[in-house]
Amino acid sequence: MGSGSGAAALVLARAGARVTAVDLSTALLQQLSERTAREGLATQVRTLHASMEVVPEDEGPFDLIWSEGAVYNVGFDVALRAWRRLLVPGGYVVVSDLSWLVDDPPGEVQTFWRTAYPGMRTVTANAVACAAAGYRWLGSLLLPDAAWTAFDESQRERCRDWRTGGPTPDEAAVIAEVEEEMRLRASFRATYGYVFYLMQWPA
């Protein structure tokens, strides 16, 4: 769900899964189709142009619904409710979502994320939401700092290139926001992070 150009979809397909990649961007789905063709995985991955919370029920049922860094687009609770009808009994949901790791984060970082991602919650609050939606909570896994570091290095390089090209005022505003996010991450990395949530729909 929210497959983008298919980083996760390709990993799952290489592991032997048959994958339905759902995204609203036709351009990204086209990129995924080209990547699967190059890797000889075209028969294992099909694309579906749709919003993740309104996938038709007849597209399923699925053994596993996987979504990395995309559920914030519709909301954690909305997604879990929408996906129940798509799962086989005993099917699994794996979602990664930006989450607070402390109950009372410092004001500066809280203010930033209240605007950037108002639905951001603690791991405990998401576990409660999981149970409220009828799922069995299997646990969570915090993405390691090394993943953030690699991502930030890539972002920093892109921002430098973008500035060199003479950005428009709108582009400059985006660069400033990205750089502010990286600054906050460096200062407050212990207070929030990306967390994988593992859930199961009852058999």
Q: What is the mean pLDDT of each run of 10 residues along the chain (203 residues)?
A: 94 96 96 95 95 93 95 94 96 96 93 91 96 96 89 86 84 89 91 96 93
Evaluate the CA torsion angle 185, 110, 136, 76 in order and state its sign.
negative
pTM score, whole prediction: 0.89
Task: Sketch the domain layout of the chain as residue ranges.
Answer: 51-143+192-200
Question: Which CATH number is correct for 51-143+192-200, 3.40.50.150, 3.40.50.300, 3.40.50.1980, 1.10.420.10?
Answer: 3.40.50.150
Find, among 50, 55, 44, the residue nearest to 18 by Cα.
44
Structure token pair of residue 121: 């919650």
Rounded CA separation 57/123 (Å): 29
Identity (one letter) of the amino acid at 120?
Answer: M
